[in-house]
Amino acid sequence: MSNGEGANKGGRNLIFDKEMENKEMKMAKKVKIESCQATMDRSASCCKVESLISIDERGQMILPKEIRDKAKIRPGDKLALVSWEKAGKICCISLIKAEDFAEMVKGLLSPMMKEIIAR
């Protein structure tokens, strides 16, 4: 590498890749901080066990009416199933309304895309 240029491997600029990785990590940290799962303040309890549900033999489950009402989930709504892995196993599952999830993704990717386009 010379004159500030990154090594090129397979057509990809390694310095650019590292810069993008750092920006993605910063954006991910920002999103995590804003989400209720990452709340460190114990008094601001937003994540809790709402209900214990069962899975039937076909793999289906029923979300209790109270939960559907609080989350404004209506028949026909789409939900994104988000999972977290730890040591190769899924340890947590979360359901997010598809339109809310789409907004989260837009909020995460939009600043990065604007910066890429501006180059």
- pLDDT tens for the chain, residues 1 to 119: 444 444 444 444 455 555 555 555 555 545 443 444 444 444 555 778 888 999 999 999 999 999 999 999 999 999 999 999 999 999 999 899 999 998 888 888 888 888 888 87
DSSP assignment of 2-48 equals -TTPPPEETTEEHHHHHHHHHHHHHHHHHHHHHSGGG---TTS----
CATH of 49-119, one of 2.10.260.10, 2.40.30.20, 3.90.550.10, 1.10.10.10: 2.10.260.10
Please say whether the beta carbons of 72 and 95 come within 8 A.
Answer: no
Please say whether the beta carbons of 105 and 87 come within 8 A.
Answer: no
pTM above 0.75, yes or no: no
